[in-house]
Amino acid sequence: MSEEKKALNFIEHIIEEDLANGLSKDKLRFRFPPEPNGYLHIGHTKAIGISFGLGETYNAPVNLRFDDTNPAKEEQEYVDAIKKDIAWLGYQWANELYSSDYFQKLYDWAVQMIKDGKAYVDSQTSEEIAQQKGTPTQVGTNSPYRSRSVEENLDLFKRMKAGEFPAGTHILRAKIDMESPNMLMRDPMMYRIMHTEHHRTGNDWCIYPMYDWTHGESDYIEQVSHSLCSLEFKPHRELYNWFRDHIYDYAKEALPMPPKQREFARLNLSYTIMSKRKLLRLVEEGIVSGWDDPRMPTISGLRRRGYTPSSIRKFIDKVGVAKRENVIDVSLLEFCIREDLNKSANRVMAVLDPVKVVITNYPEDKEEWLEAENNQEDDSAGFRKVPFSREIYIEKEDFKEEAGAKFFRLQLGGEVRLKNAYIIKANSVVKDDNGEITEIHCTYDEDTSKKVKGTLHWVSIKHAITAEIREYDRLFMHESPDSDKDKDFMEYVNPKSLTLKTGYLEPSLADVKVGEQFQFQRLGYFNVDDDSTAEKLVFNKTVGLRDSWAKQKPKPQANENQNKPKPNLQKRSAISVIQQLGKKYTNLAEEKQLKAKSEIEVLAKDVSYDELEPLFGTAVKKAGTRIATLIALKVMLKNGLERNEAINEFIEKAKADKNEVLVAEASDI
């Protein structure tokens, strides 16, 4: 097998085998067939990526077909949203089609099946049908109406179509086998009566085809070569083929290509609900503001929160195509958006929990406009001017009256560097009657060449603009919110999934447009929300600079002995554990690398620069240790560690290395 063949996923292997066995490449055709009964969510992006990705790989058409067979739950709003989402992801469909386009053809074929003795009208109640269908371990029994004559079935079916009967009085069933071990083959329903207006066909029809009857025949009508769907449809394949093979006899001259159904594992994401029915409940009960609420896993919600098409496509690429169900950690999705925005988002300064700093030796009437780099990852991003004045805001957490040696921010008697500005020293504080600090009095030093450990972001009070800041956390506190059969998934809703704050921003953000994205330095990535106006700016927090859930995540109870850290690692210092993780790093799978990275980022908070610097001299062949060192260094720099020549030299050597992971980590600093 060639290297190229080894890189193929199992679906591509199936296609390549079909091509090798005589299928003409120009006969390849795929489709993405959503039901327009809700908004697309992150789980759908895998199916979208697979079908449209195959279209791109084989230069084959991909249809967007709406399987609109249930007018009670389908709306034009959902059709429009689905089209918008797919286009936003960067995919183009060959044809926009609807199963409702085929209602007459499906009806005609159903009539032919009645004539052939393969379908009959059943007049039992739904309760009676459910009872006679049996169980997975007990065979079903035939309907008392199964032996109706062809003439009677045709008459009843035509009268059903004419609207003579109320809903629930009759259904059309396929006549297969009530003793089949596959319950889906026990005379499945093909049509039911619904006196409901359809969003496209209006009141033309009062009988509507069932999904299993419509879906495969729509594939056949469109001459889809490979019908790809998620694993829950695997038991349906037998029925898919049964319908297909019977209809093939009616239309093989005009429609020579019988489609082939194959299944892949759907995308399951931790801390996330993937059921459209349950997502609709969140909307209807007001837990979220709508389908596009930035806490929702819908594509429109992710877009509004600030996720990019490229980050989602990268995520799907990393997840890959599998045959078995698994749960992907949501941190992988968050990693992909961080990686994307790190390259593209301009850096700006904003303070979200302010405390006032008065620079007592800076003239009261003076102001300066200092130069600040927009994005050190993008040479074309250029520079901007930020104003500096006597009174500024910094974050409350960036100051302590007294602090230990590992606190690299501002403390009484200590010095820090203000980003893009001067070095200041804290001399005294002013407190209110409750003992809360209201002002920090500092002096500034124009000698910016001095070496200090901490660097803080800040905003000039005089020039600051205000904005509403919406900080989002995970919508559910449980890793698998709908897995507990004894509890309603709503019990796991995170009451703190949305926090509203007033932010104080540098004035360069005064004229931002909806959708623009920025890194608020040391705080995270933010984008301008749809609700934002010139009079009231609104920013959404897309994601933090690092995974804040890594240290909160409870350890699984299963396989406890296997998962808990080895005793000797618990006793080691943080730097020793980082070294140990680094030794294994390059041999780990990508998802495990992400977990190791999160652990290193947490450990880095307990490491001093004196402990880390000796690892700068690690041998070239020990790439994993150098990667771990870079990850830890990045955290320390974000927490205020001042760069020096040794750090710069270490980073530059890493950028010039042959190891791609090492280069990527170095380029991210």
Specify the DSSP element, H or E, that contains 603: helix 590-603
> Hey, what are 171's tokens?
């259904």
Q: Which of 161, 173, 192, 266 is catalytic?
A: 266
The Cα 635–Cα 354 span in angstroms is: 23
303: nearest Cα among 542, 58, 29, 640: 542
Please give the angle made by the CA atoms of 642, 525 and 459, to the nearest 5 degrees: 60
The Cα 160–Cα 208 span in angstroms is: 10
Known catalytic residue at 266: yes
Q: Which of 29, 35, 200, 304 is catalytic?
A: 35
Known catalytic residue at 133: no
Specify the DSSP element, H or E, that contains 15: helix 10-20
**CA 397 to chain centroid:** 31
523 neighbors 471 (Cβ within 8 angstroms): no
**Radius of gyration for the alpha carbons in the chain, expressed in angstroms and rounded:** 31
501 neighbors 327 (Cβ within 8 angstroms): no
Distances (CA, A) of 230 to 48, 61, 601: 11, 20, 36
Instruction: Sheet containing 537-543: give its strands across.
Output: 346-348, 517-520, 524-528, 537-543, 465-472, 498-505, 350-351
Strand partners for 268: 327
Give the phi and the psi of residue 185 in degrees, each rounded to 5.
-90, 0
64: nearest Cα among 37, 102, 33: 33
Give the phi and the psi of residue 284 in degrees, each rounded to 5.
-65, -30
Known catalytic residue at 158: no
405 neighbors 323 (Cβ within 8 angstroms): no
The Cα 188–Cα 174 span in angstroms is: 6
Q: Which of 65, 148, 200, 276 is catalytic?
A: 276
- Active-site residue numbers? 35, 266, 276
